[in-house]
Amino acid sequence: MVACDSSIAAKLINGGVAGLVGVTCVFPIDLAKTRLQNQHGKDMYKGMIDCLMKTARAEGFLGMYRGAAVNLTLVTPEKAIKLAANDFFRQLLMEDGMQRNLKMEMLAGCGAGMCQVVVTCPMEMLKIQLQDAGRLAAPHQSSTSAPSSSRFYTTGSASTHKRPSATLIAWELLRTQGLAGLYKGLGATLLRDIPFSIIYFPMFANLNNLGVHELTGKASFAHSFVSGCIAGSLAAVAVTPLDVLKTRIQTLKKGLGEDVYSGIMDCARKLWIQEGPSAFMKGAGCRALVIAPLFGIAQGVYFIGIGEHILKYFE
């Protein structure tokens, strides 16, 4: 029982360390992804580089890390749950957790995707509001208030002028909408994360298995890292349309002329009619650049076994 608890603790530590390192490295690109997905047309940002340059000029270097605090706080449990849950389901569904069985690997990935949304949904809900605040504060929008149909995360004339913070937004959502406010877009999050995990985990497992050494029974760090990058980037691009829908639905504060959506189908319909099919792939390049190193680092850390080393040190 002690060994089992130690194994779970090591997996949680590995997931947490990987999440912290990965997010710190790629957060500015994730901010660009959110702003590109939320803008209608290309009036403000021409692309990722243009977005990052304008953000740095207008908001400074730290402006590119808006929302990073909430992400860094919650990414530890999120990544830990995702990686540990996939490992748990693999052990449960496959005899020794190592047999190659695509259907079982996909089912294990599905289980991991379902488990992680407990943390992912509120984390991204708060992160998106903070990341998009700079876009809404741009000169051509700041002089005009958002349409009355928009749903603000703050209420009252004074509070709407406060610089948003994760604590303020979370408190307002809980006060006005209860726990459901933090879980707005849960269905869209599930629709994105379950297919992502179904694609990612089996692809990574099979790619990583190609580099397993006979003597150690493990792949090298470099091979695990590259396998995580390839599987992560392909899975990220594949589910980008669902990520666009999730971002639009979870964004509470809208700019002038931007739509409010009643659900996934309403969002998809309006996006298709008003912006065309290409809008569903907004931020695809950014997502690939974010997810590839994020999961490359995650799997590298996981397979090195940093958690195991830390636990051994405290024994």
pLDDT at 92 over 90: no
Angstrom distance (rounded) from CA 248 to CA 136: 14
CB burial string 271-287: b at 16+ within 10 A, e below: beeeeeeebbebbbbbb
Burial of 254 (0-12, 13-18, 19+ CB in 10 A): buried
DSSP 44: S
pLDDT at 66 over 70: yes
Q: What is the mean pLDDT of residues 199-228?
A: 86
Q: What is the mean pLDDT of residues 208-232?
A: 85
Given this model, what pLDDT does residue 102 score?
A: 80
pLDDT tens, 147-179? 434 444 443 333 444 567 889 999 999 999 999
User: Can you give the pTM of this predicted structure?
Assistant: 0.83
pLDDT at 124 over 70: yes
Q: What is the mean pLDDT of residues 26-52?
A: 90
Q: At what angle do helices 240-250 and 284-304 cross, to 10 degrees?
A: 100
Q: What is the mean pLDDT of residues 45-53?
A: 92
Which of 1-10, 176-185, 304-313 shows the lowest mean pLDDT across its residues? 1-10
Given this model, what pLDDT does residue 90 score?
A: 84
Q: What is the mean pLDDT of residues 68-90?
A: 84
Token couple for 83: 């990686």
Question: Which of 293, 301, 299, 223 shows the shortest CA–CA distance to 17?
Answer: 301
Which of 102-116, 219-233, 287-301 shows the lowest mean pLDDT across its residues? 287-301
Return the H-helix or E-strand segment holding 208.
Answer: helix 186-209
pLDDT confidence tier of residue 6, bands split at 50, 70 and 90: low
Question: Which of 33, 45, 26, 64 shows the shortest CA–CA distance to 282?
Answer: 33
pLDDT confidence tier of residue 304, bands split at 50, 70 and 90: confident
Express as a percent the part of the chain with pLDDT over 90. Answer: 43
Q: Which residues contact 310 (CB under 8 A, 6 or more apart)?
A: 10, 13
Average pLDDT, the chain: 83
pLDDT tens, 182-197? 999 999 999 999 999 8
pLDDT at 10 over 90: no
pLDDT confidence tier of residue 264, bands split at 50, 70 and 90: very high
The angle at the Cα of 55, spanning 50 to 59, to the nearest 5 degrees, equals 160
> Which superfamily is assigned to 1-137+166-314 in CATH?
Mitochondrial carrier domain (1.50.40.10)
CA 13 → CA 80, 93, 250, 298, distances in Å? 7, 24, 29, 11
Token couple for 307: 């958690």
pLDDT at 99 over 70: no
DSSP string covering 137-201: TSHHHHTSPPPTTS--SS-STTGGGSPP-HHHHHHHHHHHHTHHHHTTTHHHHHHHHHHHHHHHH
The angle at the Cα of 282, spanning 280 to 284, to the nearest 5 degrees, equals 105
CB burial string 183-214: b at 16+ within 10 A, e below: bbbbbbbbbbbbbbbbbbbbbbbebbeeeeee
Among positive and negative, which fits the CA dihedral 253, 34, 114, 2? Answer: negative
The angle at the Cα of 53, spanning 69 to 21, to the nearest 5 degrees, equals 35
Which of 42-46, 149-153, 240-244, 253-257 shows the lowest mean pLDDT across its residues? 149-153
What's phi and psi for 212, nearest 5 deg? -70, 130
Which of 58-62, 66-70, 296-300 shows the lowest mean pLDDT across its residues? 296-300
Question: Which of 116, 117, 86, 306 shows the shortest CA–CA distance to 203?
Answer: 86
Encode 55-102 in three state secondary structure. HHHHHCHHHHHCCHHHHHHHHHHHHHHHHHHHHHHHHHHCCCCCCCCH
